[in-house]
Amino acid sequence: MTTNEVVGLLKKGRAYASRTKYKEAIVYYEKALSLDPNNPEAWYLRAAAFVETGRNAEALNDCARAIALNQNYADAWSKKGHVLYNLERFEDAVFACTRALALNGNDASAWYIKGVCLDELGRNDEAQEAYGKSLELEIILDMEAEKKKVGK
Amino acid sequence: MKTEMPLSKPIRHFIKQTETILDTEISLLRNPEADPNGTLVDIYTYNIEKNIIIFPAHYMGLLKDFIIAKHCVNLLIKGAAVKKSHYLVCSFTGDSVYRGIHQIYIDALKDEAKKEKKLPVQKLIQMLNILYTDFNDDINELPWNPITNASVYYRMPKIRKTQLYYLMKEGKMDMDEMMEYEDVIPRRYFVLNKAMFYARDQYLAKTLPADELMPVVNIPQMKKFNHLEVKEMLTTRWTHTSWYQSKVFGDTMLEIMEKYLQKIDWNAEPSIEYFHDIYQIGVHMTNHFISYMSMKDWFVWESPKHLQEAQEKKAEYEFKALKKIFGDLIEESSADSSGG
């Protein structure tokens, strides 16, 4: 196993995923995992691809593997929140998102999912606060995307 | 609707309601290359099996929700029109392109006569085509914009802050459009284009209500017309600027908009009948705008398919129109490079 080989496989997988070709992406992530099963990023990326293809149970399992390898992996916690939301486990999703946000407060997606889940749980004030944070961050991202476009 | 995307409660409810009312299916698609306004690819316009709402990949939260809400309203209006009568859009034919381009040409000549630095013929031809197309696009979109936005505002209070951010961004982009051509295009068309967007922003500022949308506050060139006295405004100094004229025309367009849109009860229970009424109001308002801008014979109300076919034949229509106006000055190559 070489680190470079794993990095290359993950890069290829991400390229497919960015073009919404998740099945192909999963193939590359699996190759990477067969070479290095202790790579948290590979587990996280496969979880992300599983979510997009509706394989939530497998995604949850992969998030758990990524987090077991790195307790402070913010993106994996955030993805776990997403999966738990899909599984309608709203309390657990709020917990996962809160953990993700403690590690990275600038994760617009985690704020949004937290807001959605709090809304589902009828905790309206907290939901509004989470939505507010999510919107602030999304606006910053949008402004950056606009700038990039102008730059092009 | 089947999606693995997280969606807020009111949006999920609204998508489901839209699907039930229209007895159709909506898919959501995230795309890094998508238009910032999102795109609705719908069964009432295209020969496809289900409706798709496409939005930029970086819209992951409330911005995405707002785009979806907006396009659900658009879909409801189109679907209701199809189910109750016909869904028609402003299309064009060879004759209507000629009438439009010819009118722009006449107006351009009037403006050019006053200019010291004349516009080169190739540029003039290019401008005729671009302006005609721009007005066709705008007349198919602009009258529906305040309808969609007011509808979303009343139906989804939870995304109002998002809507406001979005509208400020959209308003600024629309007011910035054509700025670099201010001295090139005939004054009349610059003014009418700006007036349409001015009226929309004023209407939304009143209806939403959102002071931040006021063009007289946001647009540097218009700032001087805020709180200006009538007497002062009537002096030659002001009447000669295109921004002053945009405000005057825009105020009249706002009156037209209000006249039609006040008939809509934004909080009414959504149904096919309700959205069909809205469709008809939108059509009447569009006709009033067309008539106000003296563009009555520029466009024809036809099916979306007719418009798609017309767009395929656009270069041919433009070439024939230009040939009729300029005669032998127009070669095949100039039509190719007309850029319309």
Domain boundary among A43, A71, A99: A71
Of B206, B166, B137, the C-alpha closest to B71 is B166
Q: Are residues A137 and A99 in the same domain?
A: yes
- Mind listing the pLDDT tens digit for each residue in B29-85? 988 888 889 999 999 999 999 999 999 888 989 999 999 999 999 999 999 999 999
pLDDT at A152 over 80: no
pLDDT at B227 over 90: no
**pLDDT (mean) for A115-138:** 95
**Residue B47 structure tokens:** 């020969």
Q: Are residues A14 and A48 in the same domain?
A: yes
Instruction: Identify all chain A residues contacting B36, using CB atoms and an 8 Å cutoff.
Output: 142, 146
Q: Give the chain A residue nearest B7 (alpha carbons).
A: A116
More confident residue, A55 or B180: A55
Chain B, window 33-62: residues with a beta carbon less than 8 angstroms from a chain A beta carbon: 36, 56, 58-62
Number of folded domains that form chain A: 2
Q: Are B144 and B74 in contact (CB under 8 A)?
A: yes
Q: Give the chain A residue nearest B173 (alpha carbons).
A: A146
pLDDT at B339 over 50: no
Domain boundary among A71, A101, A129: A71
Residue B73: C-alpha distances to residues B62, B169, B203, B271, B276 (Å) = 17, 20, 18, 12, 12
Q: Would you call A138 and B158 a contact, using CB atoms and an 8 Å cutoff?
A: no
pLDDT at A119: 94
pLDDT at B333: 52
Residue B209 sits at the chain A interface (C-beta within 8 Å): no
- Mean pLDDT estimate for chain A: 94
Chain A, window 65-124: residues with a beta carbon less than 8 angstroms from a chain B beta carbon: 82, 85-86, 108-109, 111-113, 115-116, 119-120
Q: Which domain holds residue A50?
A: 1-71
In the numeric block, the tokens 């403690």 are attached to: A102
Q: Are residues A24 and A60 in the same domain?
A: yes
**pLDDT (mean) for B79-93:** 97
- Mind listing the pLDDT tens digit for each residue in A64-107? 999 999 999 999 999 999 999 999 999 999 999 999 999 999 99
Instruction: Identify all chain A residues contacting B161, using CB atoms and an 8 Å cutoff.
Output: 132, 135
pLDDT at B184: 82
Q: Would you call A20 and B30 a contact, using CB atoms and an 8 Å cutoff?
A: yes
**Does the CA dihedral A4-A5-A11-A12 come out positive or negative?**
positive
Q: Are A126 and A107 in contact (CB under 8 A)?
A: no
Q: How far apart are CA B229 and CA A50, in angstroms?
A: 64
Q: Would you call B8 and A109 a contact, using CB atoms and an 8 Å cutoff?
A: no
Lowest model confidence (mean pLDDT) among B143-147, B214-218, B307-311 = B214-218
B157: preceding bond cis by omega (within 30 degrees)? no
Q: How far apart are CA B69 and CA B67, in angstroms?
A: 6
**How would you write B19-68 as a 3-class SS string?**
HHHHCCCEEEEEECCCCCCCEEECCCCCCCCCEEEEEECCCCCHHHHHHH
Q: Give the chain A residue nearest B57 (alpha carbons).
A: A18
CATH number of the domain residue A130 falls in: 1.25.40.10
Instruction: Identify all chain A residues contacting B167, using CB atoms and an 8 Å cutoff.
Output: none
Residue A56: C-alpha distances to residues A32, A64, B5, B104, B238 (Å) = 21, 12, 12, 58, 64
Helix (H, G, I), strand (E, B) or coil at B338: coil
Q: Are residues A64 and A105 in the same domain?
A: no
**pLDDT (mean) for A25-51:** 96
Complex confidence, ipTM: 0.88
Name the band, by pLDDT with cuts 50, 70 and 90, for residue A146. Answer: confident
**pLDDT (mean) for A38-47:** 97
Q: Are residues A66 and A3 in the same domain?
A: yes
Mutation target to probe the A interface, by most A beta carbons within 10 A, among B1, B5, B7, B8 is B8
Q: Does any domain span residue A83?
A: no
**Residue B206 structure tokens:** 């009143």
pLDDT at B327 over 50: yes
